[in-house]
Every structure is written in structure tokens, then in C-alpha cells.
Amino acid sequence: MNNNSKENRKANLYVTLLVILMMIAVVVAIAGAVVRNVNTDTNAADTTRSVHKVQDTVKADTTANADSSQSKEDAVRSDEFAEKDGETKAPEADTTVDVDGTPVEQLPQFVNPTGGMIMQNYSMDVPVFSPTMNDYRTHKGVDISVGAGDKICAAADGVIEEVWDDPMMGKCLSIAHAGGGVSTYSNLCEELPAGITAGVSVQAGDIIAAAGESALAEIAQEPHLHFELQVNGVSVNPADYIDFTNGDAQFEDQ
């Protein structure tokens, strides 16, 4: 019996040790698994952060490139705007079209209606002396020297707008031109060429009248044509549109 008891105790001891070793092994295995899971989660978090960082970098580069492209476009536009007069400004609108794209008629090329030179200048700001009226007054046109009876020609293509007798400026005729221009011829001979009447189309250089002395307000002056020009209803200096310095040779042989 004693021997059997000793052997039983030894067997129980071995069993107990084996159980303890197995429990230790299980604990070690569980601990290892936990450590591996922790490392896996850490690596996943690091990977996620890295991906986000790369995405942020790509977004930043894309935004920077877009801003750079926009800046280059703005710079090109600024250079285009600055081509005129060396300053940054929007390009001027095309003078042949309106802001809504509607074609705008341009003023025609005006020519000297008599071939003569100016003997009295246009002066709407400073009164000039009138030898006929013996006072100082503004002068709404230019007086062009011409002999009595000499031909007067249309200064540009257009349509005769009106023919009338003015108490002070004598026989008068006006021609409407493209672009809002109106030329007026005064101090004409009382008798006009055949066919010269309101509504008739004329071309630059066509004879429309003969020089006369019908303007009572300028009768004291030498024979001349009193010539006025308006653009869009505003009086302008004809010398800004016509070269009167040497006359106009194109009418000399007519």
C-alpha cells in the first residue's frame, strides 16, 4: 500500500506539472496572438496615415498646378491688354461693330469741296471778328476761298438731305453721310444744277452747286463757300477731317 501511494502521488505530481506547463503554453500563445494583433493594427494605422498623407500631397500639387496655370493665363491676358500704350487695360472695342455686335457705319473719307484754301477758320470757343456784322461772334464752319460761279462739289458720298434759303446764310444745301455725318454748304448761287434736290444720292466730287454771294451775314468778305460739318448732331471742325492746305487737285479738271 505504501508503494502504491507513493506512485500515485508521483503520478498526480506529473499530471499537475503537465497541466501547469500546458496552461503556460496556452498563455504564451494567447499573448503572442495579442501582440501580433496589436502590431497589425499599428501597421494598418500607419499605412492609412501614409495613404492620407500621399493623397494630401497629390491634392496640394494639383491645386498648386491649377493656380500656376491660372496665373499664367492671367499673365497672358494682362500682356495682351497691355499691348496698347504700354499700360494694362482692356482692349478697345472694334470700331466697326457696336457693343452688341451690330455693325456700325463709319464716316466716309471727306475731300475739299472746292479745291480752295481756308480764309476764315472754324471757331466755336473764341469769338472772331465779322467784317460784315462788325462784331465778334463764333464761326460754326470754315470759309473756303473760291471765285463766284465756281463749282462746288460734294465732300463725300451721301444723300442730299435738304435745300433751303436762309435769311442770313443765303442758299444752303446739306448732305447726309454714313456714320452720322452731315455736311452743309452755304453762300451758294441761287440756281442749282439740274437734278440737285432733296433725296438724290451723290458721290464725292459730284457737282452740287456753284459758288454765289447770297449770304448776307458774310457779304463783306471775298467770294467763298461757307462749309460746315456735323457728326452725330455735333458741330465739328471740318479741318479735322479734310486737308485744306493745298486744295484738292481731283476737282481741277471737272
Tell if the pTM clears 0.75, that is, is over it: no
Q: Which three cell numbers stand for residue 218?
A: 458774310
Question: Quick one: residue 89, left, alpha or beta (phi over 0 = left, psi -120 to 50 = alpha)?
Answer: beta
What pLDDT is attached to residue 209?
97
More confident position, 64 or 4: 4
Which CATH code is given to the segment(s) 118-251? 2.70.70.10
Domain boundaries, the chain: 1-92, 118-251
Q: What is the mean pLDDT of residues 101-123?
A: 89
End-to-end CA distance of the chain: 165
Instruction: Give residue 90's pLDDT band: very low, low, confident or very high (50, 70, 90).
Output: very low
Q: What is the pLDDT of residues 216-247, one digit of tens each?
A: 999 999 999 999 999 999 999 999 999 998 76
Say if residues 145 and 119 touch (Cβ distance below 8 Å). Answer: yes
Q: What is the pLDDT of residues 158-215, one digit of tens each?
A: 999 999 999 999 999 999 999 999 999 999 999 999 999 999 999 999 999 999 999 9
For residue 7, is pLDDT > 90?
no
Q: Tell me if residue 68 falls in helix, strand or coil.
A: helix
Q: What is the pLDDT of residues 16-26, one digit of tens each?
A: 877 787 788 77
For residue 33, is pLDDT > 70?
no
Question: What percent of the chain stands above pLDDT 90?
Answer: 52
Q: What is the pLDDT of residues 141-159, one digit of tens each?
A: 999 999 999 999 999 999 9
What pLDDT is attached to residue 112?
96
Instruction: Give residue 9's pLDDT band: very low, low, confident or very high (50, 70, 90).
Output: confident
